[in-house]
Amino acid sequence: MTATSLKDRLARGPSVLAPGIYDALSALLVEQAGFEAAYVSGAAVAYTQLGRPDVGLVTLSQVIDVVARLRDRVSLPLIVDIDTGFGNALNAAHTVRQVERAGASAVQIEDQTAPKRCGHLAGKDLVPVGEMVGKVRAALDARTDARTLVIARTDAVAVEGFERALDRAETYVEAGADVLFVEAPQSLDQMRAITARFAGRVPCLANMVEGGRTPLMTQAQLDELGFRLVITPGAMVRAYTFMAQEFLRLLKANGTTALTRDRMLDFAQINAVLGLPDLMAQAADYDGAAQTGGASVTPLGASRGNPAG
């Protein structure tokens, strides 16, 4: 699936499962595993780039930098968490333009106040409904490609209650949101109520967070409920952290990586994953062009001012 076909893919079903990513390697692994899309998780970016929890510390420039690096490496659709839009409606429009230019296929904007918090943390607050509607409309107007999706998220379940969350969601759908994300429903009944009310009009997103407030379900179960987009934002970084802690414990205790050798890629294997053979072949083609009388080419690794490198 290409970045431009995500809208059609969500419309026809079945559901799309988008693992959370945070850097070029995680994006590459998701693409190589055959997933149809990936979710650029604000929480995972905070965890990995800042070593901090998801409490609104990630900046717009950091998001743009991450998305640009991902798009340079992978072609699969990127669903990008832009938190609150980093300000008011004008800021949200600016954010959408910048993130879309960097390579986003969809943007997700939420109705929390700044600084925001992870949707499964306590202590959140919300902007007025009218302010969020303005952000949704600004995001829709700011995109340069109508196929770039705007996902409207409400965190009202934990703040104002479930019925009020449905009311907010209704307003965001009426404002034109392409995808609806009611964050942190707390029961299967609430999840059913979301899709019963909205799934016939707009694709609904389900967020699976290990240890969060929403029941963990399979993609097939969520698809049966009527959800069309399923994200696992922090799952890969939580798995990585668990494995890294165990690796470091064994390394410190034994002074060698031998005990984890069967759970690691070796030097050749990691370079195969990263595409070293293709890069070397490409470099050889360029070197060959230089040797056959083509335009002058500076050898790889050499300085233009100093041919000796």
**Domain boundaries, position 154:** 3-233
**What is the count of structural domains for the chain?**
2
Q: How many whole angstroms from its chain centre is CA 5?
A: 17
229 and 270 within one domain: no
Q: Please give the share of the chain, as a percent, with pLDDT higher than 70.
A: 91
147 and 74 within one domain: yes
**The domain that contains 18 carries what CATH number?**
3.20.20.60
pLDDT in tens, 198-244: 999 999 999 999 999 999 999 999 999 999 999 999 999 999 999 99
281 and 187 within one domain: no
185 and 71 within one domain: yes
178 and 128 within one domain: yes
224 and 122 within one domain: yes
Q: Is the pLDDT of residue 292 over 80?
A: no
Contact residues for 29 (Cβ-Cβ < 8 A; gap 6+): 273
The structure's pTM equals 0.90
247 lies in some domain: no
d(CA 18, CA 256): 36
Mean of pLDDT over the chain: 92
d(CA 309, CA 302): 4
The model's confidence at residue 79, banded by pLDDT at 50, 70 and 90, is: very high
211 lies in some domain: yes
d(CA 16, CA 13): 8
Write the single-letter amino acid at 257.
Answer: T
239 lies in some domain: no
281 and 228 within one domain: no
248 lies in some domain: no
194 and 70 within one domain: yes
d(CA 236, CA 20): 7
107 and 227 within one domain: yes
259 lies in some domain: no
24 and 77 within one domain: yes
253 lies in some domain: no
d(CA 89, CA 91): 5
Instruction: Please give the pLDDT value at position 160.
Output: 96
* DSSP tag of 204: B
The model's confidence at residue 62, banded by pLDDT at 50, 70 and 90, is: very high
Q: Count the neighbouring beta carbons within 10 Å of the beta carbon of residue 298.
A: 13
242 lies in some domain: no
281 and 208 within one domain: no
128 and 209 within one domain: yes
Instruction: Please give the pLDDT value at position 276.
Output: 95
Continuous segment of H or E residues that includes residue 308: none
301 lies in some domain: no
